[in-house]
Chains A and B, each alone.
Chain A
Amino acid sequence: MRYEFNWSVLWSGQSGSWLLQGLLTTLEISALAWLLAAALGILSGALRTVPWPPLRAAAAFYVEFFRNVPLLVWMFFWYFGVPPLLPGAVQDWLFNHGAEFWAGMFALGVYHGARMSEVIRSGIQSIPRTQFEASQAIGLSVWQAYRLVILPIAIRLIVPPATNESLNLLKNSSVALTISVAELTFQTRQIETYTARAIEALTAGTLIYLVLCVSIAAVMTRLERRFAIPGLIARVGAG
């Protein structure tokens, strides 16, 4: 049996606009979730290294709780589990404004924040303790030492693993199709359903993910070089 490719299904009918819609939704949910993950990751990653045990314990709890349950379960949790706990007015607002999108965004952001946290923590712990002591010795508070010295160094050091984690987040946004967020994978499935053209639809989806991820990785590499600390980070691809 021979399969006859028919690539025109990708731009005939509504397919093109579905793909575009899917792409935009993927970008939107990933970008918001990334911001949430970065904020949670930096906060909890930093808290895991501060000199106050209760704060360290709270941050460790967050990380272990959220990274050790499958993302799919978190999607269901935030979509089916959380809204009923909210006040009626908030529920109404949510279900009129794409509750599945917000649930998916939270699931992705909180889950990847826990994973990002470990990346940040390893970055902070790779900085000699004496940097923190030097910050204290010139009179900086713990908060200032983190904000002005420790985190600016750590964040530059962790660009490669953070890029990895960011790409995972983008790809994991496809899990949101299970709570019917109309993102890219959801839309390729829809094209497949309407046209019975699985290979063409999935090829389109695959290529779009690939181009997105490769572009993000390229941008991150540029950022890494741009903000490299002289002498601290090996030059990328130099010499």
Chain B
Amino acid sequence: MAEPAIAFRLVNKFFGRLHVLKDIDLTVAPGEVVVVCGPSGSGKSTLIRCVNALERVQSGEIVVLGESVTSAGANLTRLRTQVGMVFQSFNLFPHMTALQNIMLAPLKVRRLARAEVEKTARALLERVGIPDKADNYPANLSGGQQQRVAIARALAMHPKIMLFDEPTSALDPEMINEVLEVMTDLARDGMTMMVVTHEMGFARRVARRIVFMDGGVVVEEAAPEAFFASPTSDRARQFLSKILSH
């Protein structure tokens, strides 16, 4: 097996005295799509926020694309240019247009030429289906459109890994699919993805593997068919019965 894109080795994380990640051992292979699910407070968001070092861990090691994220001298800027992230609340920069949001990092971090960056940014807007919204400010976009701009902004750095932290949780139901479609396309193109989501339909269709967390522990890891058909743990069974009952 090739070197993993992401590897957690005995990772522990505390918020004060609260033990939010307990002895996490997990690997994600290049090109793999992993859906992380579990009840709220289970540590799933914290888990993926450790991958691009938005959260620091107290013990254990996280290796991303062959480099340790958790060592003292880790080059976080380089790490973050290779790992894109999409947040629940979009977090577009409100004082910039959609296009400017997408162009910011390539211009300021990669220092590429403006013409080239703009071309890429417009192509990305095309790819997420809203080429006509380039000059709109975030406030003038719907939630689904904002989230697609946010995905384009992350893709503008040509990341090798994409992290999604509940990307559809803040969306009205009719906008969820437009975002999931973009994510499905990304997965088909071979992007390595870690996705925290409650969208079990997406998980079933797109994920290679489901990681179920509860109380800071990875309780169960399985292929989607197995996970949905016959979860091995009680907690996963309870969780699934609650979210799949309607």
Contact = CB atoms under 8 A, between A and B. Distances in A.
| A and B from one complex | yes
A139 B89 CA distance: 19
A231 B137 contact: yes
B157 interface: yes
B137 A229 contact: yes
A137 B108 contact: no
Interface stretch (B8-16, B36-44, B90-98, B113-121): B90-98
B139 A140 contact: no
A140 B109 contact: yes
Nearest to A129: B91
B108 A148 contact: yes
Contact of A133 (B83, B91, B109, B154): B91
A164 interface: no
Contact of B91 (A134, A139, A140, A153): A134
Contacts of B84: 137-138
Interface residues on A, range: 20 to 34
B87 A133 contact: yes
A115 B109 CA distance: 34
A137 B52 contact: yes
Interface string A123-156: 0000010110111111111001000110011001
B85 interface: yes
Contact of B109 (A128, A139, A152): A139
Contacts of B104: 138, 140, 148
Nearest to A147: B108
A230 interface: yes
B54 interface: yes
A156 B95 contact: yes
A232 interface: yes
A130 B105 contact: no
B22 interface: no
Contact of B81 (A128, A139, A153): A139
A231 B94 contact: yes
Contacts of B157: 138-139
Contact of B93 (A133, A139, A149): A149
Contacts of A140: 104-105, 108-109
Contacts, number: 75
B94 A230 contact: yes
Contacts of A153: 93-95
Contacts of A230: 94, 137-140
Nearest to B137: A230
Given A134-B87, A230-B139, A231-B137, A141 B94 contact: no
A94 B92 CA distance: 50
Given A130-B89, A152-B95, A153-B94, A137 B54 contact: yes
Nearest to B83: A137
B80 interface: yes
B77 interface: yes
A217 B52 CA distance: 45
B139 A131 contact: no
Given A138-B105, A138-B154, A229 B54 contact: no
A162 B141 CA distance: 30
A128 B89 CA distance: 10
A230 B97 CA distance: 10
A137 B85 contact: yes
A232 B139 contact: yes
A28 to B, nearest CB: 33
Contact of B138 (A128, A137, A138, A231): A231
B56 to A, nearest CB: 11
A152 B77 CA distance: 22
Interface in B156-178: 156-157
A141 B108 CA distance: 10
A229 B93 CA distance: 10
5 contacts: A133-B54, A134-B92, A140-B108, A231-B140, A232-B95
Interface of B: 52, 54, 76-77, 80-81, 83-85, 87, 89, 91-95, 104-105, 108-109, 137-140, 153-154, 156-157
Interface of A: 128, 130-131, 133-141, 144, 148-149, 152-153, 156, 229-232
Given A130-B91, A137-B52, A138-B104, 17 more contacts: A133-B87, A133-B91, A134-B85, A134-B91, A136-B54, A137-B87, A138-B154, A139-B77, A139-B80, A139-B109, A148-B104, A148-B108, A149-B93, A152-B95, A229-B137, A232-B94, A232-B95
Leading 4 A-B pairs by shortest Cβ distance: A231-B139, A134-B91, A138-B105, A137-B85
